[in-house]
Amino acid sequence: MAATESYPDELKYHREHDWARVDGDEAVLGITWFAQDALGELVHYEAPDEGSTVTKGQPYGEVESVKAVSDVIAPLSGEVLEVNRKVVDEPETVNADPYGDGWLIRVRVSDAGELDDLLDAEAYKQVVAEQ
């Protein structure tokens, strides 16, 4: 069952429909409700390796749905500390809970200044409205 449309206020958003939940020098990353809704039911998640580096604005993995394959874009740069194995095994978890159990990776943020370039929930909702 798909999640209800939402854009939590405590998250930061990238224009490419990715989110970051920042806690100190670490961040959990995932795709937004809008992204999972546009893709449809996810059937595969190609995750980066733990210990690898992701770069803001660059793809770090792929999600595949019954409709399409899409790159997942990093909203922040950093070292991958953890991959959500549940999503690797059960990608549809993202459809059911994109901001909870459906997170994709946890990173150690390498440049806290990049946070300034991300959108708050209200600004991201404007991006979605223009799609």
32-63 pLDDT, tens digit each: 999 999 999 999 999 999 999 999 999 999 99
Q: Which residues pair with 46 in a beta bridge?
A: 62
Would residue 77 count as lying in a domain?
A: yes
When divided into structural domains, the chain yields a total of 1
Give the per-residue pLDDT at 3: 79
Would residue 8 count as lying in a domain?
A: no
Would residue 84 count as lying in a domain?
A: yes
Would residue 31 count as lying in a domain?
A: yes
Task: Tell me whether residue 17 is exposed, middle or buried, using C-beta atoms within 10 angstroms of its C-beta: 0 to 12, 13 to 18, 19 or more.
Answer: buried
Would residue 53 count as lying in a domain?
A: yes
Would residue 125 count as lying in a domain?
A: yes
Would residue 1 count as lying in a domain?
A: no
Would residue 104 count as lying in a domain?
A: yes
Q: Which domain holds residue 40?
A: 14-129
Is the model's pTM score more than 0.85? yes
CATH number of the domain residue 38 falls in: 2.40.50.100
| % of the chain beyond a pLDDT of 90 | 94
Phi, psi angles (nearest 5°) of residue 103: -60, 160
The answer on pLDDT for 2 being more than 70 is: no
Give the per-residue pLDDT at 50: 98
How many other β-carbons are positioned within 10 Å of the β-carbon of residue 6? 11
The answer on pLDDT for 6 being more than 70 is: yes
